Amino acid sequence: MNDYFVDLHIHIGRTETGRAVKITGAKTLTFSHIIAHARDLKGLNMIGIIDCHSPEVLMEMERLLQEGKLCELEEGGLFYEGLTIIPGSELEIYDEGTNGPIHVLCYFPNLKTMKTFSEWLEGHLKNIHLSSQRVYVTGRVLQEKVKELNGLFIPAHVFTPFKSLYGKGVKESLKEVFEPSLIDGIELGLSADTEMAYKIKELHNYPFLTNSDAHSLGKIAREYQKIRMKNATFTHLEEALKGKGGQKIVENYGLDPLLGKYHQTVCAKCFSKADEDQKECQQCGHGKAIKGVAERIQELKTTDEHPVNRPPYIHQVPLQFIPGLGPKWFEKLLAHFGTEMAILHSVPEFALYEVVPEKIAKFIIQARKGMLSLDAGGGGKYGKVSAN
């Protein structure tokens, strides 16, 4: 049994020919760049790439398999010399009466199954080449198709105000959209943590996932989890989500919700803290507010009960949030210590002082211990670490 660092929500910005997949994603987010960056610089052991339904992405994976740079694991997943890739797809549903849209994540064990799913999708959406497309079937029909292909089904960033299960007053219960027994986990999103999600009792039955939703290489592993598995394969990932054979999520690492883009309710224009019911912003006079995740969860709250045997949620401050840690010092840290996972988890404190200025080293150490002072984000604007 081993512990693996896992981030299951990484977007593809462009194909290797330059064709757009995730329009808001960086051009450097190609399949080949992602797997090299995730393994060599981030230090991850397993990743989910969730735009693998795109035909040109499928072609690139096939080419890498033919060249021997990837191989398919017998128990599911693609292997890249120490890194396991789980192919997947992020899709948008908008059931009649849903008031959506709602984003979901679908994962599959191998390239053949991913291609079969892509071919099925092509008959139910408008542009098979793009990420996060609206699929014109109900949530339950999509779940059934995923399960028919032995896949995993996970609602994405469930609390964010836009394009999520509970966001913006979409639904009060997942049962209104999905078949509960066909859900394999719940992705919390950047603006919520386990403590907040506890307040909704229907979520107590599911493992919580903390993923980056990366739209650039640098944002890979800004959230991730440590999963204990017999091997880093699709089969053992599925078993770990179900808690089989001692396999399980050991720890969730995620942003302190204050750093998330949608944590607090703010004015839609000037981003100052606001009350959703206010007629105008006290700072700028604008009349519209964007409801924060913290307020939305309080509306949905059904319990104060804490389920037992939950993995700890560790508030992780990614290195990109550390004040003063620009590209120069970041590259120097990587040159000395290898990967971001090593810097965040295992490099001795004294070694940090030997490589970067004292102030930056202190910030990194405080980040490890959850001692940084944070200013809350909201309305699409990230929170930040106070430099005081």
- Contact yes or no for 139/151 (Cβ under 8 A): no
Cα 73 to Cα 50, 143, 310, 340: the distances in Å are 18, 24, 30, 26
What CA–CA distance (Å, rounded) separates 119 from 180? 26
Task: Determine the pLDDT at residue 170.
Answer: 54
- Contact yes or no for 34/60 (Cβ under 8 A): no
Query: Amino acid letter at 111?
Result: L
Burial of 375 (0-12, 13-18, 19+ CB in 10 A): exposed
What CA–CA distance (Å, rounded) separates 57 from 131? 11
Task: Determine the pLDDT at residue 267.
Answer: 81
Task: Determine the pLDDT at residue 97.
Answer: 60
Domains and CATH numbers, the chain: 2-257 (3.20.20.140)
Show the DSSP H helices in 70-193 as ranges.
111-122, 139-148
Structure tokens, 115: 């291609």
Task: Determine the pLDDT at residue 276.
Answer: 67
The full 3-state SS of 28-57, as one line of letters, equals: CCCHHHHHHHHHHHHCCCEEEECECCCHHH
Task: Determine the pLDDT at residue 286.
Answer: 74
Query: Amino acid letter at 359?
Result: K
Task: Determine the pLDDT at residue 279.
Answer: 67
- Contact yes or no for 265/292 (Cβ under 8 A): yes
Task: Determine the pLDDT at residue 168.
Answer: 65
Taking the model in full, what pTM does it have?
0.91
Task: Determine the pLDDT at residue 56.
Answer: 96
Task: Determine the pLDDT at residue 350.
Answer: 92
Q: What is the mean pLDDT of each run of 10 residues along the chain (388 residues)?
A: 97 93 91 95 96 96 95 97 96 75 96 97 94 92 97 95 77 85 95 90 95 94 96 98 96 88 83 73 76 85 85 87 88 91 89 92 85 81 75
